[in-house]
Amino acid sequence: MAAWGERLAGVRGVLLDISGVLYDGGEDGGSPIPGSVEAVARLKRSRLKVRFCTNESQKSRGNLVGLLRHLGFDISEGEVTAPAPAASLILKERGLRPHLLVHDGVRSEFDQNDTSNPNCVVIADAGEAFSYQNMNKAFQVLMELENPVLISLGKGRYYKETSGLMLDVGAYTKALEYACGVEAEVVGKPSPEYFRSALKEMAVEAHEAVMIGDDIVGDVGGAQSCGMRALQVRTGKFRPSDERHPEVKADGYVDNLAQAVDLLLQHADK
Amino acid sequence: MAAWGERLAGVRGVLLDISGVLYDGGEDGGSPIPGSVEAVARLKRSRLKVRFCTNESQKSRGNLVGLLRHLGFDISEGEVTAPAPAASLILKERGLRPHLLVHDGVRSEFDQNDTSNPNCVVIADAGEAFSYQNMNKAFQVLMELENPVLISLGKGRYYKETSGLMLDVGAYTKALEYACGVEAEVVGKPSPEYFRSALKEMAVEAHEAVMIGDDIVGDVGGAQSCGMRALQVRTGKFRPSDERHPEVKADGYVDNLAQAVDLLLQHADK
């Protein structure tokens, strides 16, 4: 593999995944990954542009940022690309009235959307709200539509909490896709539109940007499909088998965000 | 299309789906589809062999037969092919210890299986028991196995109860398949092994048998793949669009079981 200097040459902007890179979530709110608070601070003091690009769909952007600030991170709402506010905009643009199969913590992101007489379903990481009753209700709404529209906030398979691996929204989206014979539109990683909207906010071209994430498919594969470079951290949901993934090869594997930032500050923008 | 006489020539055995053909289920136990009680009685008085082939996986075979007898049907346990007892046998043959993600009503079918220290997951139509917690537990069991085995009792998309359409086991199986990167083994329709076991019990060859069901894919397509003929009834989960299905074409469409039996008694075995 090429030397780090070559692999990181010309990087001007950095996209950071949040869960599994900055912190590990949990019922107690979670805890920072060692070294990540300082790493973010160092990045932000550098000449590199930084933006946070998450698929978090259980919490509103405000609640997520509040939690991260409480854990010590220097982060503000305006620096975060999150799927729920992105979906809310898309719904308004297309005149869609959602039936929401979402966690209560993210419902406020859809306050500006008309939810009467729904003509689509929005599914997010609803956690415990993925009851049979709630899934069946969303299924019935879709089956009554002539042209069923299903919007999925990300398509993650699972994520890691301190208590263990947890099923993510992608699994439940597959269930509805199969039952209704539809294909969901994804708002969130690895959707190319989603990465591009984050790049646009940062005013950086894809070939000048690097994504840092713990998900070999959603973060690394997705970013590379957009023409970005991508590093995988060995924290969060990382598994050793990811480094032998049959389809996706990261531009580099690092132990954690702190090591990624060391390398970036040493080699990028040269 | 050929005349009925030609389409039904040489039929010696009839496989009947239960839900949506004999009766429509519901929280009150359900109600017989008009004409079906008589139709079953007439079939059993004829020279045709009859067997019931169901994907019912919420109730034990005993409970299902009890309900049907209460509704007026002439049916006994020995005449029913059902996925839970079939799966229980397979588990024993292969030394598999299941983690059961099933409805309490069917749990007794697995009384003879060792469920300690599970090395596979069996998923059935669990209904309300498809909680996030139960799904996540099954997911975690699979993720901890070196060679994860997922056995699904059928792969139906949905079924119809008196209160409306209900998500079936297939949707939840897709969720676990996607999350774990595995493919489930199906015990139930449309698995060819399952149809063959029903034919064997009836001592009838596939080309001498006709399946009567309400599911264009699971019943009609599955039976045809085994070399049987198949009729779709316009009851249960039937939808008018089924008659224009892109991949499956029934050997005939009939209004209900009563009409199918009229035609069979008139034309079969000649």
pLDDT at A27: 78
Work out the minimum CA distance from B103 to partner chain A, whole angstroms: 12
Q: If we measure between CA atoms, which residue out of A122, A119, A238 comes closest to residue A187?
A: A122
A157 CB neighbours in chain B (<8 A) are 178-181
pLDDT, position A87: 97
- B191 vs chain A: nearest CA distance in angstroms? 18
A136 neighbourhood in chain B, CB within 8 Å: 166-167
Indicate the pLDDT class of residue B59, thresholds 50, 70 and 90. Answer: very high
CA distance from start to end of chain A: 19
pTM: 0.90
Q: Mind telling me how many Å the CA of B114 is from chain A's nearest CA?
A: 26
pLDDT-derived band of residue A32, with 50, 70 and 90 as boundaries? very high
Which residues on chain A are in Cβ contact (under 8 Å) with B135? 130, 167, 171
B270 pLDDT above the threshold of 80:
no
Average pLDDT, rounded, for chain B: 95
Task: Report the run of H or E that residue A90 belongs to, with start and end.
Answer: helix A83-93
- Mind listing the pLDDT tens digit for each residue in B170-183? 999 999 999 999 99
Tell me which residue in A140, A165, A172 faces B140 most closely, judged by beta carbons. A165
Cβ–Cβ gap B132/A127 under 8 Å: yes
Query: What average pLDDT does range A153-172 have in this prediction?
Result: 92
Contacts 24+ apart (CB under 8 A), A33-38: A33/A235, A33/A236, A33/A256, A33/A257, A34/A256, A34/A258, A35/A256, A35/A257, A35/A258, A36/A73, A36/A256, A36/A257, A36/A258, A37/A71, A37/A72, A37/A73, A38/A258
What ipTM, to 2 d.p.?
A: 0.90
> How far is the C-alpha of A55 from the C-alpha of A168, rounded, in Å?
10
Chain A residues in contact with B139 (beta carbon < 8 A): 158, 165, 167, 171
Question: Closest by alpha carbon to A55, among A200, A149, A191?
Answer: A191
Q: How far is B29 from chain A (nearest CA, A)?
A: 19
Beta carbons of A130 and B135 less than 8 Å apart:
yes
Query: What average pLDDT does the segment A233-254 reach?
Result: 95
> Among A58, A146, A163, A167, which would you mutate to test the B interface (most chain B Cβ atoms within 10 Å of its Cβ)?
A167
Render pLDDT for A68-121 as a digit per residue (tens, 0 to 9).
Answer: 999 999 999 999 999 999 999 999 999 999 999 999 999 999 999 999 999 999
Cross-chain CB nearest to A179 (options B133, B140, B167): B167
- The helix/strand/coil state of B81 is strand
Decide: B101 and B125 in contact? Cβ < 8 Å.
no
- Mean pLDDT confidence for B238-252: 95
pLDDT at residue A270 greater than cutoff 70: no
